[in-house]
Structure 1
Amino acid sequence: MTTPQVTPVVPAPSLAPAVVDLRGIRKVYAQGDVIFEALRGVDVQIMPGEMVALMGPSGSGKTTLMQIIGLLDRPSDGAYRLGGRDVTTLSENERAGARNLEIGFVFQAFHLLPRLNLVENVEVPLTYAGVPPRERRERAMQVLARVGLADKARNLPSQISGGQKQRVAVARALAGRPRLLLADEPTGNLDTRTSEEVMGLFSDLHAEGTTVVLVTHEDDIGAYAGRVIRVRDGLIESDRRQTPRRQMERRALTGGHP
């Protein structure tokens, strides 16, 4: 099998370290005598403020790569620096702490606690982080306002729509002021119109400087990112920049002007 030809993305000069810096990442799974190499030497750098779509077919290795970026799994070989810090050999407790402080997660299933109202759901990671109650409430209300749901803070998850639930999940991910927002198939449970609303929110967050990594198999969702990394057979197949969908729509409305 031929190794995919990759057009490398050269990061723009920055004084800040890469948010994600993966070097020679391999992941090997063994079941009895069967060895499966999910990742076969992956190098990726994601700089502060980028919005990146991580794409690939089922079995390509993109989910394994996402789990390693999110500190949910360990590489078999290679090095990972998160915001300039080597996180490759952290203990399980240190990894849990880094996940809570450095990474905000948004999943396809919203994972809201049904008996807690929206502001309480947003406060959950702050509780684990040891943030005092008053500050927890203030920060939770701030991020709910940021996603347009401050007026529903006392509602239960059963009282809001699917799109609103995903907005709460985004607010919860932002409450800890993470270095990286990692979204795994964030529109998988949403209809087309609601998906566009949620992706508009991610685009707004990116415009404000948030570093966003979207894991998706849908081209129309990947179109919102300014950079697309495609994974196939455990390798980076391509890594290219593009004009994000929001920017193209804006140009169309203004007759081609930025």
Structure 2
Amino acid sequence: MTVVALHQVRKVYKSGALEFEALKGVSLEIRQGEMVALMGPSGSGKTTLMQIIGLLDRPTEGRYVLAGRDVTTLTENERAEVRNQEIGFVFQAFHLLPRLSVLENVEVPLTYAGYGPQERRERALEVLQKVGLGDKLKNLPSQLSGGQKQRVAIARALTMRPSILLADEPTGNLDSKTAAEVMRLFQELNDEGTSVIIVTHEADIAEYTGRIVRIRDGQIESDGPNPHRKRAVGGVA
């Protein structure tokens, strides 16, 4: 099954009489269960592409089908609903609420989605066990390492059981050892069937994925399998 299908997507930003074409007719398909790196230098268009895939922005031209549904012309409310159901986000900054415990932080998306207390707790416990933080439920973010904070963010992204985990520079605030451990977690989730898209400018991070899409000047420069995929090893960060 194809979870992401972009067809001739253009994105043009306008400022007065000036126009900047961030994406120039990009076509891309990502299948269920793939782990893909979107790689490119600053200004390449990879962030714009990530925002369109994540329904945080919409294309100027072209068509986008997400998990079998054409989402190109949805209203903002419809886009928000699909985004919450289908996409889990992980960012470079952890965006944890400092006064909430680990468990409470992970429950936040479920609270907004209207789940009751028992199901919120059950789902949060399930994903926290999956990311290796079952013993940190009552801890505050200030009591965690950088790697543990990112694991909480990943758990939070998984609570709605999304079709896609979309990670934007997820190791940018981590040292190399901790970054490798976080990539090991992404690989484990991918092995279990979760589709993972990693947006990065770091070649060593892209090497953990099974497919690398390189973007330059708003176009796909290359797209193919990664024959030298690394497997991350290590303990809990």
From 110, 122, 134, the equivalent of 2:106 is 122
Where does structure 2 lack aligned partners over 5 or more consecutive residues?
Answer: none
For 2:15, the aligned partner's letter is Q
- Count matched residues: 232
Q: How does 1:135-214 map to 2 (within 5 A)?
A: 135-214=119-198
From 61, 64, 68, the equivalent of 1:77 is 61
Higher strand share: 2
For 1:22, the aligned partner's letter is L
Q: What is the distance in 2 between the residues matched to 1:51 and 1:205?
A: 10
From 208, 213, 217, the equivalent of 1:229 is 213
1:246 equivalent in structure 2: 231
Where does structure 1 lack aligned partners over 5 or more consecutive residues?
Answer: 1-15, 250-258
For 1:40, the aligned partner's letter is K
Q: TM-score normalised to the size of structure 1? A: 0.89
Q: What is the distance in 2 between the residues matched to 1:127 and 1:72?
A: 21
For 2:165, the aligned partner's letter is L
Does structure 2 retain, via aligned residues, the 8 Å contact 1:101–1:129?
no
For 2:39, the aligned partner's letter is M
Q: Residue deviations 1:199-222, cap 9 Å, x none? A: 010011111111000000000000
Q: Within the alignment, does 1:113 sit opposite 2:97 as a pair?
A: yes
Q: What is the distance in 2 between the residues matched to 1:185 and 1:135?
A: 31
Q: Residue deviations 1:15-51, cap 9 Å, x none? A: x3x1000001000011111110000100000000000
Q: What is the distance in 1 between the residues matched to 2:33 and 2:114?
A: 27
Q: Within the alignment, does 1:133 sit opposite 2:150 as a pair?
A: no
Once the two structures are TM-superposed, the CA of residue 128 in structure 1 deviates from its matched residue by 1.4
Q: What is the distance in 2 between the residues matched to 1:193 and 1:233?
A: 32
For 2:152, the aligned partner's letter is V
Q: What is the distance in 1 between the residues matched to 2:150 and 2:201?
A: 18
List structure 1 segments (4+ residues) > 2 angstroms apart after TM superposition: none
DSSP 3-state at the match of 1:19: strand
DSSP 3-state at the match of 1:245: coil
Mark the structure with the bigger radius of gyration: 1
Once the two structures are TM-superposed, the CA of residue 99 in structure 1 deviates from its matched residue by 1.1
Once the two structures are TM-superposed, the CA of residue 133 in structure 1 deviates from its matched residue by 1.3
For 1:80, the aligned partner's letter is Y
1:40 equivalent in structure 2: 24
Percentage of identical aligned residues: 69
Once the two structures are TM-superposed, the CA of residue 131 in structure 1 deviates from its matched residue by 1.5
Q: What is the distance in 2 between the residues matched to 1:22 and 1:131?
A: 32
Q: Within the alignment, does 1:23 sit opposite 2:40 as a pair?
A: no
DSSP 3-state at the match of 1:214: strand
Once the two structures are TM-superposed, the CA of residue 183 in structure 1 deviates from its matched residue by 0.2
Q: TM-score normalised to the size of structure 2? A: 0.96
DSSP 3-state at the match of 1:170: helix
Q: What is the distance in 1 between the residues matched to 2:219 and 2:60?
A: 15
Q: Residue deviations 1:157-184, cap 9 Å, x none? A: 0011000000000000011100000000
Once the two structures are TM-superposed, the CA of residue 87 in structure 1 deviates from its matched residue by 0.5
Q: What is the distance in 2 between the residues matched to 1:201 and 1:123?
A: 20
